[in-house]
A and B are shown apart, each in its own frame.
Chain A
Amino acid sequence: MTEGRCKPSVFPPRTDTGREDTLDNFVIETENLTKDYSSWLRKAKRPALNNLTISIPKGSVFGFLGPNGAGKTTTIKILMGLIRPTGGMATVLGKPYDDVEVKNRIGFLPDSPAFTPQLSAMEFLDVCARLLKIPSSKRKQRVEEVLEIVRMAPHAKSKVGTFSRGMLQRVGIAQAILNSPELLILDEPLLGLDPYGRQEFKEIILEQRDKFGASVFFSSHILSDVEEICDSISILNKGRLLCAGKLSDLLSRDTDNGVLVKIRQCDDAVKALMTDADNVQKKENDEWELTFKTLSPELDRKINELSAKHGEAVKRLNAREDLESFFFGKIEEDNLENS
């Protein structure tokens, strides 16, 4: 990793003396996690994951990003005990990744959820509730509750085999939150949903954290959604970790000299600064956002004057890069280095 690039050590490193604390602070920890795929026919190994070391803090909404084939689903499947790593270790909620009992405290949504086609949504969730050891007296009520949360109550008795992609995704979320989990692991949870569905799901995810204190670990390609709901992220490329850390730290790091000016209902100020801005965006309620990547002394003086003149209507903030350009920058940089 080159200088200036963010490193996974953004989160507190583990110490030998603080092992108990570490277990309490992190919901997921991996150390040099490696996975190579190989088949009987082809002897050559195909590396999917290369020495991944990350720690996910408790109570965070953690976005796990990377292009296709980066190793996101492989990591998630290892954490859920579905595939075995070639090397390294992983713990989930302080237990080894293949511990069966710890799964009672985890909710998991696979990347393309599929369920027993001849069962109704309610029956399938009942099977899941039995596997999660929800007492029979509470099972029916809880299944109805989660179907209500994901707005599938009207389809509770329809066969899962007749559902659309979006409906399957909703049932998937329902089975993942059935046990009010301490940790939600979601693989592409927003895939196949319309904008309304995506919004609802983001609310559900945040509600799980805010109401029940759940930590959320999810992979997604929809960067705007990640930026909206995640407080921490990591970026993977070709099985390697490129960076990990708090989103706010990562996005402000590369644009230390930039400035963001928010102008509300003040056309004069917008006109005065527009020609110098690198990026101009009109928001709702006649609000404008102007980004300046570099600041000359003259421009600095101009902004300060406008800010003094118009008060709260012209706000000066430190600019931060948006996640999309940050993501592409990191991936391209890595591809160039390793080409």
Chain B
Amino acid sequence: MSEIMAIASGTWKNILRMKVVYFLILCVWILIGSAALYEVLSMGQHKPLMIDVSLALNAVAAALVVISITFEIPRELRQGVASTLLTKSLGRTQYLAGKLIGIAVAAIVICALITVGSFVIFYYTFTESIALPMFQAQLLQILSIIPMAAIGVFFATLFPEVVAPVLTIIAIWFSYSVGVLQNIPLLYGGILPNLDLFNFRSQAVYHADIPWSYVGLVTLWGIAFAIFALMLTSLFFKVKDIK
């Protein structure tokens, strides 16, 4: 486990020290805050608009972090960072698990910062406390990173950095559209995660409670999918020649 955590800590430190991450967070906060200016245009619906925008932008930020990693892992493999690490006492599955945890932790920290910022903006704009469904919806949005990161690691490990981000974007888009695509088994195939399970924007807007048991189950499902994706990736990665 300590080997996995060594890789994970190196990964999350590497991501969280990139200046572009904080630029992204700042941009998202500004966009969330700008929803307050839409009072007239939205005919007084600027409060639900802000909740909706904050959840949507949080999802976009999580996807962006995952996509940025689909550049990083192939680059690590190509430039030799991975080969330096893999020539230590570290199995290839452990390396992948470390990468997955590292990416997930970094993305969770980024999304948590966005969430906290959005709550502060909401509180000062509407002088209203944060309702539980709002918190739960944001929490689920943050937890959706787990399966999303697993998709990113899968493509990043098997494809070069020119292809991996494109495939990851398509996969994430399909994963959010599973409700629509489930009648097209060829596209959906039951392999992609259903990220709609983590989407509770309407409950947050209309203050409809989400049972905690659901939150717990969907988190377990996300972890189970991530482990399945990791094992699948590992099958291919174990036989891959690392140049």
* Contact, CB under 8 Å: B90 / A110: no
The one of B3, B6, B17, B241 in contact with A84, judged by C-beta atoms closer than 8 angstroms, is B241
Q: Does A21 contact B (CB under 8 A)?
A: no
How far in angstroms is the closest Cβ of chain B from A271? 55
Of residues 103 through 137 on chain A, the ones whose CB sits less than 8 Å from some CB of chain B are 103-104, 106, 108, 110-119, 123-124, 127-128, 130-133
User: What B residues does A229 contact at CB under 8 A?
Assistant: none
Q: Is B89 within 8 A of A82, CB to CB?
A: no
The answer, among A84, A113, A117, for a CB contact under 8 Å with B80, is A113
> 0/1 per residue, A297-316, Cβ < 8 Å to B?
00000000000000000000
Cβ–Cβ contact B89 & A103, under 8 A = yes
Q: Mark B1-27, 1 if CB is under 8 A from A, else 0.
A: 011011101110111011000000000
- A108 engages B87 (CB within 8 Å): yes
B85 neighbours in A (Cβ, 8 Å): 127-128, 131
A132–B2 Cα gap in the complex (Å)? 10
B2 closest partner in A (C-beta): A130
Q: With an 8 A cutoff between CB atoms, is A67 at the interface?
A: no
A115 x B84 contact (CB < 8 A) = yes
Tell me, in angstroms, the Cα distance from A127 to B7 when the chains sit together: 7
Residue A175 is within 8 A (CB to CB) of chain B in the complex: yes
Smallest CB separation, B27 vs chain A (Å): 21
- Judged by a CB distance under 8 angstroms, whether B79 is at the interface is yes
CB of A216 within 8 Å of the partner chain: no
Q: Which of A103, A117, A119, A133 contacts B87 (CB 8 A)?
A: A103
Q: Is B81 an interface residue (CB 8 A)?
A: yes
B83 at interface, CB cutoff 8 A: yes
Which A residues are CB-close (under 8 A) to B242? 77, 82-83
Is B191 interfacial (CB 8 A cutoff)? no
Interface residue? A41 (CB, 8 A): no
Task: Point out which of B14, B83, B85, B87 has the most chain A C-beta atoms below 10 A from its C-beta.
Answer: B87
Cβ-based interface call for A101 (8 A) = yes
The listed residue (A111, A113, A116, A133) touching B10 by CB distance below 8 A is A116
- Cross-chain pairs A/B with CB under 8 angstroms, 13 sampled: A77-B241, A80-B83, A83-B242, A100-B89, A101-B89, A103-B89, A108-B87, A110-B80, A113-B84, A123-B13, A127-B10, A133-B2, A159-B17
Q: Which residues of A contact B (CB under 8 A)?
A: 77, 80-84, 100-101, 103-104, 106, 108, 110-119, 123-124, 127-128, 130-133, 159, 172, 175
Nearest 7 CB-CB pairings of A with B: A131-B88, A130-B6, A83-B241, A118-B17, A114-B79, A108-B87, A118-B14
Interface on B for A, CB 8 Å cutoff?
2-3, 5-7, 9-11, 13-15, 17-18, 76, 79-81, 83-91, 239, 241-243
